[in-house]
Amino acid sequence: MKKHGPSKTSKTKKQDQLYSQPREAIANFVFDENVVNVFEDMIGRSVPGYATLLSMLPVLARAFVTPNSCCYDLGCSLGAATLAIAQGIDEEAVNIIAIDNSTAMVEKCQALVAKYSGNININAKKSDICEIDISNASLVVMNFTLQFIAENARKKLIKKIYSGLNKGGAFVLAEKIKGKNSVEQNRLTSLHHAFKKANGYSDLEISQKRSALENVLVAETIEQHVSRLKQAGFSEVQVWFQCFNFVSILAIK
């Protein structure tokens, strides 16, 4: 049987080996400098369809961004989504506001954004997305971030995003989801782990990473996400992308 090796990495992309050695105790996963240094490789090898999600953001930006409005990237990490949004904006006087609560993430994001040579104003800053103001927004993107927010704070955050969007504006929410029953959950988990193994992660790495995320990443079903979005007031809610247990939902005000 043919073995799959690790995915190829660029000269500037460090390979994720954070969980390659056995650990006596598995600490909760945090977005610290160690994670930031390998994050580009980590997310590409861990999230099926991630490249597709990014490639569609310029399309979504062209469809929804309006002149003299703001775009928000909530939980921006290294700014990949931020720069993808900028690529799709043809309108004038548009600002992109990129927010993350990890100092290491924001610092690297700011360095990458500084190399951006387009005409869109991008402001990357450290903050808590639950505390910031959102206003005059034509597009809000939140990729794999809500799952790290306390469950009792999610409803309020989604309502704030809805309130801050202009009429006709769009909210793009990407999340890791859980199955609606144990059979579906086991199948999704099995396929996700197979994807990670195909990308060079060992059983040890998969197991230890899963333990690190267990109390940090709290996934919900698609139905829970859709229900919350509709309760917030979004008139149109649809799943536009899914690959195994990773989805992206488009909600329009």
Q: Which CATH number fits the domain 50-177+219-252, given the four candidates 3.30.300.30, 3.90.1150.10, 3.40.228.10, 3.40.50.150?
A: 3.40.50.150
> What residue spans define the domains of the chain?
50-177+219-252
Enter the DSSP assignment of 148. Answer: G
CA-based radius of gyration for the chain: 18
The 165-176 sheet, strands edge to edge: 121-126, 95-100, 70-74, 137-143, 165-176, 246-252, 236-243
Mean pLDDT value across residues 10-23: 81
Q: Give the least confident one: 15-24, 47-56, 185-194, 228-237.
A: 15-24
Q: For 168-224, what is each residue's pLDDT tens digit?
A: 999 999 999 999 999 999 999 999 999 999 999 999 999 999 999 998 999 999 999
* CB distance 96 to 121 below 8 Å: yes
* CB distance 246 to 49 below 8 Å: yes
Residue 107 has phi, psi (to 5 degrees) of -60, -45
Residue pointed to by tokens 């909760």? 28
* CB distance 132 to 219 below 8 Å: no
The pLDDT, as a whole number, for residue 25 is: 87
pTM of the model: 0.92
Indicate the average pLDDT of the chain. 94
The pLDDT, as a whole number, for residue 91 is: 85
Please name which of 117, 127, 143 lies closest in space to residue 247, comparing C-alpha atoms. 143
Query: How far apart (Å, rounded) are the C-alpha atoms in residues 218 and 214?
Result: 7
Q: Rounded to 5, what percent of the chain is helix, strand, coil?
A: 40, 20, 40
Query: How far apart (Å, rounded) are the C-alpha atoms in residues 124 and 73?
Result: 9
Residue 152 CB-density burial (10 A; 0-12 exposed, 13-18 middle, 19+ buried): exposed
